Structure 1
Amino acid sequence: MTTELRVLRPAEWASWFGALELAFGGVPETGAERALWRDLTEFERSLGVWDGEECVGTAGAFSFRLSVPGGALVPTAGVTMVSVAATYRRRGVLTSMMRRQLDDVRTWGEPLAVLTASEPEIYGRFGYGLAAQQLTARIDTSRVRIAPPAAPEAADGSQEVRLRRVKPDDPAVREACEAVYAAQVAGRPGMLARRPGWERLPVLDGGRPKDGASPLQCVLAERHGEVVGFTLFRNKPEWDMAGPKGTIELGDLYARDAAAYVSLWRFLFSIDLTSTVLADNRPPDDPFQYVVSDVRRCALRLRDSLYLRPVEVGAALEARTYRAPVDVVLGVEDAFCPWNEGNWRLSGDAKGASCERTADRPDLTLGVRELAAAYLGGTSLAALARAGRVREVRTGALAEASTAFGSDVAPWLPHGF
């Protein structure tokens, strides 16, 4: 090979991003989208593979903090913008970038790496496991009703939660919405603590037609003048001979309490001239499922979302807490990052944990992909054992560890990167 792998230089960004666009079908991003990604790119954490003047491989790693069970926000590499030119496949380009990237992440002291996969089968060989899923719903709002909000009435008889339509790109609105989002992060594993600049992503309209849908709309939920929730959505009008049958395409919906949450969902269900709410990315345990009149007509479906990799097993396992006391020796297999290979004694509970190398015999043996899948509490070690992916050596260790690794709240990645 005549290719060179190197850290991205600012002057190379347009060629680098163009190679990424070509690898993902060749449809260019709009000017607004390109400007945002250019601003968010962390050049010292981005890699390119070059053959002369041609960029033939791309990979980046955003510096995130990821919420884990117990509420800690753990430094995490958000692996992104990975591509290989179609004319350079099967030449080791991807492997070389993954090797360099994980070595870099370890040097940066970040115990976790995460990504969303365009093709899930690609990343398993590099140690990434499915750690969180997302729920999609297509709700027939002509047939499904939602319970009224559990909000008390004010002295004048008005509802305590008031809804107000605003412009989503108003800086004050963005700030208020970002505060509501930030309040949710520690309470749900898998969410990202957004750095400055990332608040622009949810309200990026892109300036391109959205298959007949409206520009982005925003409604705030307020209580006594304080923003306690918001929703971002588009309205896609449609008519047939029987009349209107528009679709509400839900982007975001966050709330600080149940009353605001239910009020926002109820609003979406009641928008005139629509009969469907389409939600592409909601938490698997999203509470709307428990306030609708007919869950079957919500057409619920789970799909894969966040893939995670422990870069430093000991530090990763120490960073989270455990739902029940646990003291087990994990025999970890990790061919791609051999520094993780071996036996680790994990001792922890709801207050904290320690994880150190040990010469003791393992109680459980598993690959790093299986450890990754269980890490946020979305997949049980017991389920993985039933699939033959985790092996119990000491009787009782599987039940102990599986209970401890669980989470009361389903892990969820709220948006891509």
Structure 2
Amino acid sequence: MGNDDIGGFDPTSGLRVLRQDEWDTWYGMLLRAFGGVPEAAEEVALYRELTRCDRSLGVWDGDECVGTAGAFAFGMTVPGGARVSAAGVTMVGVAATHRRRGVLTSMMRRQLDDVRSWGEPLAVLTASEPAIYGRFGYGAATFQVNAEIETDRVRLSVPDGTDDVRLRYAEPADVLDACEAVYARLVPGRPGMLERRPGWERLGLLDPESAREGASPLQCVVARRGGEVTGYARFRVRPDWGPTGPAGTVVLQDLAGLDPATEAALWRFLFGIDLTTRLTVRGRPVDEAWQYQVSDIRRCRPQLRDALYVRLVDVGAALAARTYQAPVDVVFEVEDAFCPWNEGRWRLTGDTKGASCERTPDAPDLTLTVRELGAAYLGGVTLGSLGAAGRVRELRPGALAEASVGFASDVAPWLPHGF
């Protein structure tokens, strides 16, 4: 970042909590920072409702808003199934006229101080530019799979019980409560999933025509087994015709199933929609079963992409909030220049039943920065791989392997939707 006083502007003097009557100006600056393309009225209305002004910051240069940052209040699943309070950092933007003047740094500084004061041990975000947030202590903790599946060339093998699942079309809004009940049952089982608090259920129903790119309005099918709703899929269909016939595309928005048979039934349905030859998939878990059920993974063209970035705001509370799949007893020497209250030595002891993490004068076993702890926190990135990359230093032989096994998760962490 450049000097804060370039052009006589000091961002800290114009930094303040957002007032309700400033929201339109604040949000307008954010949209301009992301290119200036207007959003549909229904999107703007939803985010206006979801924004917590008391958790949002603006930087003002006179009457002009030149910086924005917000923080939703989330409950996020961590390894072991506990739901931990996390600040969902969002709506971060800086006016192009005020780049390299310390605007972002001033907002990140104030925001992490606020998150600490709220007693939330974690901050999480999705990064428009991944290179930005590492210097503030955020590490890439979850990844996702995107795919373009040639459904006219790829076949799906399904597990026993799939034929017992019954699928029916429904209007998305009419079955919202049933779909949300399915989602809620899945939240404790996968690290990184977000508890859907009031208002967030409407995110899955957003359907502005401007976002369809020639596809149909949002469609929904609901899965039932034994009279119980066990899953759903929301999707659009983009019709097309080639020289040899139909060549439509199914665009999946979201899919959830309570059991393997339900998931397989939903995927089989999407593969077989009439007049389509392709299925576009975005943001799915990296360990999702369909990848092992397809006849030709190359014709699915899977791509891996970073998703959720995690920052430990309170190292002790965060590490004690999750469990560990193998016993750990390790002393970390933590570096955290941006949040110095985390710096120093922490002894973590834990297993599958619980954990404690307290300050200690004992000699360190591993040294690392808070960024590495964030990356490994949800169990999808191993401490061993970070050590091989030179980002974790082992001082006690065997400590890295011990901690790496303990931190891992059998279920890949996954962020189900953006924010």
Give the structure-2-normalised TM-score: 0.96
Once the two structures are TM-superposed, the CA of residue 149 in structure 1 deviates from its matched residue by 4.8
Is 1:70 matched up with 2:86? no
What's 2:239 paired with?
A: 237
Gap regions ≥5 residues in structure 1: 153-158
Amino acid in structure 2 at the alignment position of 1:244: P
Measured on the aligned residues, the alpha-carbon RMSD in Å equals: 1.0
- Of 142, 154, 165 in structure 2, the residue corresponding to residue 144 of structure 1 is 154
- Any conservation in 2 of the 1:149–1:260 contact (CA below 8 Å)? no
Is 1:191 matched up with 2:193? yes
Bigger mean CA offset, 208-217 vs 27-36: 208-217
Once the two structures are TM-superposed, the CA of residue 25 in structure 1 deviates from its matched residue by 0.2
Is 1:38 matched up with 2:61? no
Bigger mean CA offset, 221-230 vs 306-315: 221-230
Amino acid in structure 2 at the alignment position of 1:39: E
Q: Secondary structure at the match of 2:204?
A: coil
Q: Secondary structure at the match of 1:79?
A: strand
Structure 1 CA distance for aligned equivalents of residues 316 and 75 of structure 2: 18
Structure 1 CA distance for aligned equivalents of residues 23 and 374 of structure 2: 32
What's the CA shift string for 1:29-57, capped at 9, x where partnerless?
11000000001001100001111221100
Structure 2 CA distance for aligned equivalents of residues 211 and 65 of structure 1: 33
What's 2:91 paired with?
A: 81
Structure 2 CA distance for aligned equivalents of residues 79 and 194 of structure 1: 16
Once the two structures are TM-superposed, the CA of residue 150 in structure 1 deviates from its matched residue by 2.0
Q: Secondary structure at the match of 1:201?
A: helix
Structure 1 CA distance for aligned equivalents of residues 346 and 228 of structure 2: 48
Is 1:162 matched up with 2:166? yes
Is 1:130 matched up with 2:130? no
What's 1:297 paired with?
A: 299
What's the CA shift string for 1:315-341, capped at 9, x where partnerless?
000000001000000010000000000
Once the two structures are TM-superposed, the CA of residue 160 in structure 1 deviates from its matched residue by 2.6
- Of 274, 277, 286 in structure 1, the residue corresponding to residue 276 of structure 2 is 274
What's 2:5 paired with?
A: none
Structure 1 CA distance for aligned equivalents of residues 56 and 193 of structure 2: 22
Q: Secondary structure at the match of 1:202?
A: helix
- Of 26, 29, 48 in structure 1, the residue corresponding to residue 36 of structure 2 is 26
Amino acid in structure 2 at the alignment position of 1:33: E
Structure 2 CA distance for aligned equivalents of residues 196 and 19 of structure 1: 26
What's 1:92 paired with?
A: 102
What's 1:17 paired with?
A: 27
**How many equivalent residue pairs?**
409
Question: CA distance change for structure 1 residues 412 and 209 in 2, over 3 Å: closer, same or farther?
Answer: closer
Structure 2 CA distance for aligned equivalents of residues 150 and 168 of structure 1: 28
Is 1:224 matched up with 2:226? yes
Structure 2 CA distance for aligned equivalents of residues 296 and 209 of structure 1: 28
Structure 2 CA distance for aligned equivalents of residues 177 and 339 of structure 1: 42
What's 2:254 paired with?
A: 252
What's the CA shift string for 1:245-272, capped at 9, x where partnerless?
1111111110011111100000000001
> Runs (4+) of structure 1 moved beyond 6 Å?
none
Give the structure-1-normalised TM-score: 0.97
Q: Secondary structure at the match of 1:120?
A: coil
Structure 1 CA distance for aligned equivalents of residues 56 and 229 of structure 2: 37
Amino acid in structure 2 at the alignment position of 1:387: A
- Of 92, 105, 113 in structure 2, the residue corresponding to residue 103 of structure 1 is 113
Q: Secondary structure at the match of 2:307?
A: strand
- Of 385, 392, 405 in structure 1, the residue corresponding to residue 394 of structure 2 is 392
Structure 2 CA distance for aligned equivalents of residues 180 and 273 of structure 1: 30
Once the two structures are TM-superposed, the CA of residue 296 in structure 1 deviates from its matched residue by 1.8
Q: Secondary structure at the match of 1:416?
A: coil
Gap regions ≥5 residues in structure 2: 1-8
What's 1:179 paired with?
A: 181
Amino acid in structure 2 at the alignment position of 1:163: L
Structure 2 CA distance for aligned equivalents of residues 348 and 210 of structure 1: 47
Q: Secondary structure at the match of 1:370?
A: helix
Once the two structures are TM-superposed, the CA of residue 224 in structure 1 deviates from its matched residue by 2.9
Once the two structures are TM-superposed, the CA of residue 206 in structure 1 deviates from its matched residue by 2.0
Once the two structures are TM-superposed, the CA of residue 88 in structure 1 deviates from its matched residue by 0.3
Structure 2 CA distance for aligned equivalents of residues 244 and 56 of structure 1: 49
Identity between Structure 1 and Structure 2 (%): 67
What's the CA shift string for 1:135-176, capped at 9, x where partnerless?
111111111111245217xxxxxx431100000122xx1110
Structure 2 CA distance for aligned equivalents of residues 235 and 118 of structure 1: 27
